[in-house]
Every structure is written in structure tokens, then in C-alpha cells.
A and B are shown apart, each in its own frame.
Chain A
Amino acid sequence: MPVRHGLLALLGEGPSHGYQLKVDFEARTGGSWTLNIGQVYTTLARLERDGLVIEVDDPEPDPDRRTVAVTDEGRKVAEEWFATPVEVGTPPRDELTIKVLLALAAPDLDLAEVLQQQRRVTLESLQELTRRKRALDPDTDLAALLQIDAEVLRIEAQARWLDQVEQRLAVGRRPATS
């Protein structure tokens, strides 16, 4: 569960409280993941129950918030998380792949046009991401930039796969649309 490990990792940098953790988590992940404040408190409660975080005195006490710190055990869990590569796993069933595979043998269907329509939409998504990227400053918006890079690469893979389908079938010899 990345939220649990994400909060432990942030607490590794120093004690904090629920709302601040939510703000930091979102800022540090480039705004790619919005946390529900209720989810943050529930997660913190579980971490506290498991002895991974502990309530500490706040230098500026505020009755509305509880400041927590990571325990040695919690620090160990965060370290293990960083040290363990994320499983690449099997991708979820992808509608595009399925659609193209079925289109291969579908009667009365212009496969080249199916591929080109998808390519257009894919490229327009990439254009939208690139517009967002253009507005970012590589020095100050690193997290957001890296997050967009990841998304660009994911969508780019789709565009390249469409090209590859076309190359394998050599349907590119015929115009895709009239």
C-alpha cells in the first residue's frame, strides 16, 4: 500500500501531522496523487497501532492536531520499501490491444483506419501533456516534470506499438483514409 509507505517515508524526514503530510505528499509527487484527508488519518491510526509511528510533543502545541514521528521499526519498514524494486507484473488487460487483435480478422473493417484513428487520439494526448510540460520550469517543478515524463513514455509506447502493428502487417502501403 503506497500511501502507508509514502507517509512513513515523509515522516523519516521529521515529525509532522496529518494535514501537513497530505500537503507534502501531494507536492512531492508532482500533484499526481491527491490524498483524501480521512485516508491520511486512517492510515496514521493503523501505523500507530502497528507501532510504526508514535505521537510526540509539538513545539507549538495545537489542540486540533496530533504530531507524530516515525519509530525505529517504522524507519526500517520505509527503508525496506525503498530497497525493494516494484514488481513489473502483468499489465492489466488493455482494451486497445484486444481491439486491434480482434480487428485483424474482422470482416469489412479498414484496419489501417482503426489504427490511424487511435494514433490521432494518442498523439493529441501527447500534445496535451507536452503543453503542460512546456509550462513547467525544470529547476523548480522537477516532481511534476518527472511525473509527466512517465506519462509521456507510457503513451508514447502506445504510439510505437501502433506503428509496429502497421509495420508487421505492412498495411501502411495503403492510404489509411480516403
Chain B
Amino acid sequence: MNTTRTTTIRPGLATRAPGTEHERGDAMTAVLDIHELHRTFGSGHTAVTALDEVTLSVARGELVAIMGPSGCGKSTLLTLAGGLDEPTRGRVLVEGHDLAEQRADARAELRRRTIGYVFQELNLLPGLTAAENVSLPLELDRMRLREARRAAHAVLEEVGLTEHADRFPEDLSGGEQQRVAIARALVGDRRLLLADEPTGALDSVAGEGVLRLLRRACDERGAACVLVTHDAAQAAWADRIVFLRDGRVVDHAGAATVSLGGGR
């Protein structure tokens, strides 16, 4: 059954030298392109460097995990990737658009339409049903209510919550609430998913359900996903794992050149 001993070497992943990122996918298909990103908080001798020359590219359909201990800069990276903060130096391109070159309103629109966020704190609005929570971003984007609700129901079906569409968050389990949050992040065909410790509050089976959904969003919708986690078993769902230490990329995993051999 699991006695396969095949060795898979995916092109562009056999080496870990910097600069091989683009070989994975066509650079044209990169949904997120981060170039020599630097973020310093404070100034003078109290300045703290949170990110130091980080370069990363995430292609369509790719799930990339960012792993590292607390304070390594992984959440800062996600915040900058989503345009929620501005880098001290370096560039962030989302689907080819340089966030820094966009006017505020254009950037806000890009954020709304292209990027979905999933956080450990679900931030579901308690007074709205699951479907209303999911359709809210579309309504804020001035989509007609009926259309927005239809889109919300479609994505709730995708995450297996059709029957819970009219329930309020407090009537849902933690895992179900996180699935609503993922549906809200996906709705409107957003192509970049940014997830920060999305399973933090869930038990391991419910947490795995969330990772399966993120994986499916990449495999079936072609979404690009960046998953920030300190948890090895979660990072293992990614195609590639980027290790951050003190704001720097120190290593990559995901070459998958070694099979475990099976049949133990």
C-alpha cells in the first residue's frame, strides 16, 4: 500500500540556492513577488529590524509555508505582503502590481478584490449569519446584494457549510467558524490567500480540515497561499517551506528528493 519507493525530484527544487524561486513556475504566473523586503521599526540605536532582505515568489496554485520562532518576522512578512503595512525598503508585487506604486484607493481595491486574509482570531461579525459574513466583503465592494449572497452560498458549499449558511457564528464549532473565515477570504475569486496561524485555536483534526481547505483552494482554484505557522505538521501541507530567523530567510525545504521508503 505505502511501499512506494519512488524518488521525485521536481524541477527547480533540486537546489536551494537563492534565486531558484522563479524556476518553479513561470515568473509571469507569480501571484506574489517579494523583492529584498526590509522592515525596520523605530529609529536610531533603538531600531529593530523585523525583516531583512527577504525575497520570495509564490506562483498560482502554490502553497508556501513560512516557518520560524516567535519574533522571526513571519507575521510582519504577511502584513507587508497584504499591503497592510509598508516596507522600509524593497518591493511587493501582487499579480504584477507594485503595491508602493499604487494610489491609496487603487491599493485598497487590489487588497479587497485579490487578497483574502485568514487569521487565528476569526473576526467574524457575531450579529451576521455565516452567509452574511461571507458576502460582506462583496457588499462592501458594492456588488449587488443578491449576487453577493449567491457568491457567498457557492463558496460556503465549497467549504462544506451549505447547511450552516444561516447560522450565527456562536452556533458553529471553532472548526466551522474557521471554515466560514476561509470562505470569506476566498469569496469573489481572490487569488492570494494570506493565512496567519489559521488553526491556532483548533484541535488537530479540525485544524487538518482547515489545511485541507487551503490546499484545495490552491489545487482546484489555483489560488496562491502563504501560510505562516510555527507548527511543523501544518507547514508540511505546503509545497515549499521557507525558514525565517531574525528576519532573514535561512533555509528552504520542499525538494522532496527523499522518500521515506514506507513498509516499515
**Structural contact, A127 and B254, CB atoms closer than 8 A:** yes
Query: How far is B182's CA from A71's CA once the two chains are assembled, in angstroms?
Result: 55
**Which of chain B's residues has its CB closest to A173's CB?**
B246
A130 interfacial by beta-carbon distance below 8 Å: yes
Binding site for B on A (CB under 8 A): 26, 30-32, 34, 116, 119-132, 134, 144, 148, 152-153, 155-156, 159-160, 163, 166-167, 172-177
Q: Are B246 and A174 in contact (CB under 8 A)?
A: yes
User: Which of A26, A34, A123, A131 gathers most chain B CB within 10 Å?
Assistant: A123
Cα A154 to Cα B212 with chains together (Å): 21
Contact residues in A for B257 (Cβ distance below 8 Å): 124
B236 and A163 within 8 A (CB)? no
Contact assessment for A130 and B250 in the assembled complex, using a CB-CB cutoff below 8 Å: no
Q: How far is the CB of B234 from chain A (nearest CB, A)?
A: 9
Known: A124-B253, A126-B236, A127-B238. A31 touches B246 (CB 8 A): no
B3 touches A (CB below 8 Å): yes
Residue from the list A26, A152, A159, A177 in contact with B251, Cβ < 8 A: A177
| Closest CB pairs A-B (n = 3) | A31-B1, A159-B232, A126-B236
CB pair A30–B253 under 8 Å, yes or no, is: no
Measured between beta carbons, the chain B residues less than 8 angstroms from A134 are: 212, 215, 237
| Apart from A125-B260, A128-B258, A134-B215, 17 more pairs, CB < 8 Å | A26-B1, A31-B263, A116-B250, A120-B252, A122-B232, A123-B232, A123-B241, A128-B259, A128-B260, A131-B256, A148-B2, A160-B232, A163-B69, A172-B69, A174-B245, A174-B246, A175-B245
The 0/1 profile, CB within 8 Å of A marked 1, for residues 227-240 of chain B is 00010110111100
Q: In the assembly, what is the distance between CA of A48 and CA of B91, in Å?
A: 74
Chosen A-B contacts, 17 in total, with CB atoms closer than 8 Å, are A26-B1, A32-B2, A120-B253, A123-B232, A123-B241, A125-B258, A125-B260, A126-B233, A130-B237, A159-B233, A163-B69, A172-B72, A172-B246, A175-B245, A176-B243, A177-B250, A177-B251
Q: Could you say which of B248, B258, B263 contacts A124, with CB atoms under 8 Å apart?
A: B258
Residues of B within 8 A of A177 (CB): 250-251
Minimum distance in angstroms from B8 CB to a CB of chain A: 9
Within 8 A of A (CB), among B200-218: 212, 215
Would you call B258 and A152 a contact (CB within 8 A)?
A: no
Query: Which B residues are CB-close (under 8 A) to A167?
Result: 69
A119-B1 CB under 8 A given contacts A124-B255, A125-B258, A156-B233: no
Tell me the complex Cα distance, A172–B70, Å.
Answer: 10
Question: Closest B-chain residue to A162, C-beta based?
Answer: B232
Complex: how many Å from CA A34 to CA B245?
42
Query: Which one of A129, A172, A173 contacts B260 once the chains associate, using CB atoms below 8 Å?
Result: A129
Beta-carbon nearest neighbor of A158 in chain B: B232
**Closest partner residue, chain A, to B16 (CB atom):** A120
The distance in angstroms between the C-alpha atoms of A123 and B212, with both chains bound, is 18
| Least CB distance, B193 to chain A, in whole angstroms | 18
B142: A residues at CB distance < 8 A: none
| Choice from B232, B238, B245 contacting A172 with Cβ under 8 Å | B245
Q: Which residues of B contact A152 (CB under 8 A)?
A: 233, 236
> B144 on the interface (CB 8 Å rule)?
no
Nearest CB of chain A from residue B261's CB, rounded to whole Å: 10
Contact B1 A123 (CB under 8 A): no
Let me know if B264 is at the binding interface, CB within 8 A.
Answer: yes
- Please tell me if the beta carbons of A120 and B259 are within 8 angstroms of each other in the complex: no
Query: B237 to chain A: which residues have CB within 8 Å?
Result: 130, 134
Known: A156-B232, A175-B248. A127 touches B2 (CB 8 A): no
Per-residue A-contact encoding for B63-104, CB less than 8 Å = 1, 0 else: 000010100100000000000000000000000000000000
Question: Shortest Cβ distance from A29 into chain B, in angstroms?
Answer: 10
A contact residues around B258 at 8 Å (CB): 121, 124-125, 128
